[in-house]
Structure 1
Amino acid sequence: MSKEKSLKFLGIGIILVVIQSFFQEHEAFIAIYSKYVGYLTPLIYAFFITIFLDPVVSLIEEKFNMKRILAVISTIILVGFIIFIGIAIIVPQVGKSLRELYDKLPVMQEQIEKYATLGIDFLKEKNILTIGDAEIRESINSFIRDNMTSIQDFGLSAFWNIVWWGVALTKFFIGFFLAFLILIDKEYFIGFLRNIFSIIFGAEKSSATIDFLEKSRKILMSYIWGRIIVSTAVGFITFAVMFVTKTPYAVISGIMIGLGNMIPYIGSIVAGIIAVFLVALANPYKLIFLALAITIAQLVDGWIIGPKIVSETVGMRTFWIVLSVLIGGSLFGPVGMFFGVPIFGMLKLIYLKLLRKEEKQIDE
């Protein structure tokens, strides 16, 4: 057996051992990540910020014939301005809606208890419910009271999260500064990576590795921008229809459904269920307009914007997209659900490359 094949089998064996260990000792891996990899959080932020901003920097640099540092500064100012405008418009409206929602919690509790009672009475009339309804009603009411209390406690304990958010924001700004340095001198860092890969894999495989990373970057970047555009459109359409029809919680519902749409299929369903719950408690008759808003938004996503922007970027069938979301979510939560699709897209690149290599060997 050649040295190259031996190294390949050794690498595959190590990967399989790591994967097996991950599933067998999942909590231990999470603990290691939290303790050690957490120190690399600013670098991880820098990596994604660089990927996210690089197309904008390149566009400004070429379009206006700017120097690199001026293009980077202009991009940061532009992005900061857009974020500031979004916060200035959205945050006050969200705060107002949350205050209204908090004030209505007792009324919502009464509404839920009322609907639960009506449901039990209906089941009794149809002879579907044969066990004691008093115990069921008390259990439902206790569950509602306990959860309403938990919601109120969550609101009161928000203060203690300020410190955590402060630390997270500090890491983010450090990552932003590192991304600024990388964007200014990106050719140097690309050359540095190329040299590292040349030392490890050799000159020929280094070029193939860089080519794979570039294709992966395009998939990731296209997917992220595509989901942002699609989700923004879905959220805005939902908000617009609900606002015109004077449906309660238009702002919160639009934001939730827009953010939920960032996670294919599953996110939209969860966000839609929460929106239905809020509107049903405030004004059940407006549910028809909420359904209309969600239907229009999903039609635009599924038939107009989505296929043009997102589906073409990863080139995966619906089955694989849903599977990637489920696997990513089960392993890494919401972050895994979002990045599961582009990661599967990268795995598809490896699969196609290996398949072409095998077909070439067969032909020879």
Structure 2
Amino acid sequence: MTCINDGILRTHLDGQLTGAELIGVTEHLVSCTDCRACFEKLRAESAQMQDLLATLAPAADSITINPAMAYAQFDNQYGTASEPKATWIARLFAPRWRPAWGFAAVAMVVTILVSVNPVRTWAQRILAMLRVQKIQVVTIDPTTLMSSSEPDSRPYKLFNQFVADNIVVTMDPGKPAVVSNLTRAAQLTGYPIRVIGSLGAPHSVEVNGETTFQMTIDRDRVATLLDEIGRSDIHIPESANGALIAVHIPKTVISIYGDCPVRHRYVTSNPQSQAEALAERKMERMASIKDTNCTYLIQAPSPTVSVPPDFNMSEIAEAALELAGMSPAEAQSFCQTVDWSSTLVVPIPRNSSSYETVTVDGVEGTLITETLSQGNRYSLLWIKNGVIHSLSGHGNSSDALSLAASLR
């Protein structure tokens, strides 16, 4: 029996398995140390959550509470609270996003990673290999990305089916490996891993596996999706149809400093399990909404993208930026300012974020600041010696630059 996914383990933990399935899972847990450890971790997390919920139990003399009024009060207090966002690179490598990228995300990945007009190699038949060397920011309106669609609506179903039919993962990264120290992380990744000197050793270190995937552009399917979300005005060139784009993401190291929330990682296609995962992330958000003692340092060699050498990405890039809230004129103007053969464009939301170019680690970097109700968050991004660095935490620009200056 192969290893059991977290969704089945949770079902077993809830006592919902019966018959042969229950026997099979029980026997497997006896023989598999990895699954047993995962099950015990889920059991511990469940017990902790039960303890927390127990503190909310009403006293014997408590008054009767109207559930609708209670929910309204809760939603008023927490419903509009801004969710602490992971950094751009954390979201890129987060396991839950790998199987769920739809047209908008794929279009943005293509836009930010591939060239408008790739440099032709000596042999026109081979693929152009593009590698990120610098970073540039673009502001977008995230509310335009299918904001009016519900998860069970036709646009979302088309969105998910497009992913299933057009994106193929050719190298699965597997589960992130939690390692004991940075030396071990360097051994697993094959490149030196840096530490924030002023913070000392990280509290936790994760190594994400190497990933490759490829996408085939189906122009008719993309056009149908755009029509469903009310953006039939966005044009996809006929020359894009059937183009194959391949992405390679090297092993990535996430160093975690401070009292950071637990990072939930299980991925499932089961709707009920997806709902459980969403609930977990909301609970995680509530638990960490006031937590300011948490810093992430993410290090990853530049991803590479393979595209047909004669494939002009200009219109695709402009279409993706239009989907992200730009006008056609704005998208065209922006594309003309970027060297797409070597630039990673980082989208940030309008009105809630600001950015500036800074000098960090002896090179040019980009400092992004988000203004949230619980305080500012920063993301400091730079590339040095072919490695992308992302430093994120709570605080201001001086906090970010001070931590970066202590890297060794």
Q: Common fold, TM-score beyond 0.5?
A: no
Higher relative contact order at CA 8 Å, sep ≥6: structure 1 or structure 2?
Answer: 2
Instruction: Give the TM-score band, short-chain normalised.
Output: under 0.3
The TM-score normalised by the length of structure 2 is 0.22
TM-score by length of 1: 0.24
Which is strand-richer, 1 or 2? Answer: 2
More helix by share: 1
